[in-house]
């Protein structure tokens, strides 16, 4: 006798909730903001719901970004030597990780990196320094190099220089910086557990200066630092309320020698649910799969692009990324395409 499907199902196996996420996506596409409870339910959904969550999230991603993927290129223009104590960061003064230590690179090195970024199909060159905030020498170096890079390679510039005051933000805008990255990293409630040398409020203030100076805000976070699901939801809503344009979502690469070493709590399904939750809460914002992509998503990396629309190509600040060709192949295999257009389609 052939067993019916019902007879072979495990009695305790939960039902796959296709309709639930589809209805949530329809509400988002109709212009509604989902509630924090709904966001939490995505983040904490059982793994068997990952596919319907991604399918529903893909409809939102597709509305605003079609099948396009925006590539970013990171340049660590100054490494190590940072006086701050961000517990996840290998460049902090309290990290013993063997990272390169150098002051801001010379013009030729920064231009060479810009050439690589342009050749790799990146639209945006992310100029990053390890610092609490930029000193005068670093500000001047940025002011000099940005117009040159823009003129020669036509790249957009995102500067990540640490905490900024309003005057510094105005100077960055004046020299042609398009966007500033300054991550919230985690929730306000969890912030003191990952950093004691500056506050969440300091970071929010920098983002306000960036916005008031007329630049775009890029801000995201890191998942896997011992935060609760509620913390992750709280960060997603804070980013929404701040009106950030671009959200890089990192998955902790717990580097040996940092206070968070050994934190390897994440799995690929959790990362996918987090990406999807950010897409539901920030439907028309650029969502970038960032550090830890290869480490935590592993063979499920392509799935992340069904909800995220952007990623870094090449290496991260102090860790290696996969070869650019593997990224291009993944994009092509998905039937997606690299785009230079950073504006989302309007709803
Ligand atoms: S301020 Fe930036 S470079 Fe410095 S420790 Fe924190 S994350 Fe690292």
Q: Which residue has the higher pLDDT, 1 or 156?
A: 156
Place of tokens 């509305």: 63
How far apart are alpha carbons 129 and 214 in whole angstroms? 21
Q: According to the model, what pLDDT value does residue 1 have?
A: 40
Ligand 1, pocket-test mutation among 78, 83, 84, 186, most atoms within 8 A of CB: 84
| Ligand 1 atom nearest to 129, measured from its CA | 3
3-state secondary structure of 96: coil
Tell me phi and psi for residue 31, to 5 degrees: 100, 5
Mean per-residue pLDDT of the chain: 92
Ligand 1, pocket-test mutation among 78, 85, 86, 160, most atoms within 8 A of CB: 86
Cβ proximity of 259 and 234 under 8 Å = no
The CA-based angle 113-204-161, given to 5 degrees, is 20
Ligand 1, pocket-test mutation among 97, 128, 130, 192, most atoms within 8 A of CB: 130
Q: Is 85 exposed, middle or buried (0-12, 13-18, 19+ CB in 10 A)?
A: middle
Q: 32-46, 80-94, 186-200, 223-237 — which is least confidently predicted? A: 80-94
Q: Is the pLDDT of residue 201 over 90?
A: yes
Q: 55-69, 90-104, 277-291 — which is least confidently predicted? A: 90-104
- Of all protein residues, whose CA lies closest to atom 1 belonging to ligand 1? 132
Instruction: List domains and CATH numbers for the chain.
Output: 60-337 (3.20.20.70)
Mean pLDDT of 128-146: 94
Q: Is the pLDDT of residue 310 over 50?
A: yes
Active-site residue, 175 included: no
How far apart are alpha carbons 78 and 114 in whole angstroms? 15
Binding residues: 82, 86, 89, 126, 158, 218, 288
Structure confidence by residue, pLDDT tens digits, 105-118: 999 999 999 999 88
Q: According to the model, what pLDDT value does residue 302 have?
A: 97
Q: Is the pLDDT of residue 199 over 80?
A: yes
Q: 68-72, 223-227, 269-273, 338-342 — which is least confidently predicted? A: 338-342
Cβ proximity of 164 and 172 under 8 Å = yes
Tell me, using a 6 A CB cutoff, whether residue 82 lines ligand 1: yes
Confidence label for 136 from pLDDT (cuts 50, 70 and 90)? very high
- Of all protein residues, whose CA lies closest to atom 3 belonging to ligand 1? 130
Q: Is the pLDDT of residue 73 over 50?
A: yes
Q: Is the pLDDT of residue 213 over 80?
A: yes
Q: According to the model, what pLDDT value does residue 122 have?
A: 84
Q: What is the CA radius of gyration of the chain?
A: 20
Mean pLDDT of 219-242: 97
How far apart are alpha carbons 50 and 303 in whole angstroms? 10
Q: According to the model, what pLDDT value does residue 3 have?
A: 43
Tell me, using a 6 A CB cutoff, whether residue 90 lines ligand 1: no
Mean pLDDT of 167-175: 98
Count of beta carbons in the 10 Å neighbourhood of residue 241? 9
Residue from 61, 179, 279, 288 carrying the catalytic annotation: 288
Q: Which residue has the higher pLDDT, 241 or 126?
A: 241
Binding residues for [4Fe-4S] cluster: 82, 86, 89
Active-site residue, 20 included: no
Active-site residue, 160 included: no
Between the CA of 64 and the centroid of ligand 1 the distance, in Å, is: 32
| Ligand 1 atom nearest to 132, measured from its CA | 1
Confidence label for 13 from pLDDT (cuts 50, 70 and 90)? confident
Strand partners, 339: 70
How far apart are alpha carbons 333 and 329 in whole angstroms? 6
Tell me, using a 6 A CB cutoff, whether residue 89 lines ligand 1: yes
Q: Is the pLDDT of residue 286 over 90?
A: yes
Q: Is the pLDDT of residue 180 over 90?
A: yes
How far apart are alpha carbons 58 and 208 in whole angstroms? 31
The H-assigned helical ranges of the chain are 5-8, 18-29, 36-43, 50-65, 107-119, 136-153, 166-175, 191-194, 200-212, 229-242, 268-281, 301-304, 324-334
Closest CA to 177 of 136, 221, 147, 197: 147
Q: Which residue has the higher pLDDT, 320 or 270?
A: 270
Structure confidence by residue, pLDDT tens digits, 27-39: 999 999 999 999 9
Q: According to the model, what pLDDT value does residue 20 have?
A: 94
Q: According to the model, what pLDDT value does residue 60 have?
A: 98
Mean pLDDT of 145-172: 96
């Amino acid at each position: 006798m052939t067993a019916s499907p019902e007879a072979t199902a495990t009695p305790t196996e939960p039902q796959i909730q296709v309709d639930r996420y589809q209805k949530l996506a329809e509400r988002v596409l109709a212009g509604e903001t989902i509630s924090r409870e709904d966001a939490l339910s995505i983040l904490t959904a059982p793994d068997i719901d990952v596919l319907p969550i991604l399918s529903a999230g893909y409809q939102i991603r597709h509305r605003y970004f079609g099948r396009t993927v925006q590539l970013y290129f990171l340049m660590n223009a100054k490494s190590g030597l940072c006086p701050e104590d961000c517990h996840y960061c290998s460049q902090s003064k309290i990290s013993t990780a063997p990272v390169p230590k150098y002051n801001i690179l010379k013009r030729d090195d920064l231009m060479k990196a810009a050439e690589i970024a342009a050749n790799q199909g990146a639209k945006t060159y992310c100029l990053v320094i390890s610092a609490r905030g930029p000193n005068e020498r670093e500000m001047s170096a940025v002011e000099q190099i940005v117009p040159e890079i823009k003129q020669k390679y036509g790249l957009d510039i995102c500067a990540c220089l640490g905490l900024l005051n309003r005057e510094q933000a105005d100077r960055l805008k004046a020299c042609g910086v398009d966007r500033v990255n300054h991550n919230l990293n985690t929730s306000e409630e969890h912030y003191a557990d990952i950093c004691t040398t500056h506050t969440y409020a300091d970071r929010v203030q920098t983002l306000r200066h960036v916005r008031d100076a007329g630049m775009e805000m890029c801000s995201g976070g890191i998942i896997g630092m011992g935060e609760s699901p509620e913390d992750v939801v709280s960060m997603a809503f804070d980013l929404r309320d701040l009106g950030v344009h671009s959200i890089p979502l990192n998955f902790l690469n717990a580097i040996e020698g940092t206070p968070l070493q050994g934190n390897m709590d994440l799995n690929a399904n959790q990362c996918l649910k987090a990406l999807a939750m950010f897409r539901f809460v920030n439907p028309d914002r650029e969502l970038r799969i960032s550090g830890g992509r290869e480490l935590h998503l592993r063979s499920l990396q392509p799935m992340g692009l069904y909800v995220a629309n952007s990623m870094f190509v090449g290496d991260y600040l102090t860790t290696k990324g996969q070869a650019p060709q593997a990224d291009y192949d993944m994009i092509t295999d998905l039937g997606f395409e690299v785009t230079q257009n950073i504006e989302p389609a309007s709803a």
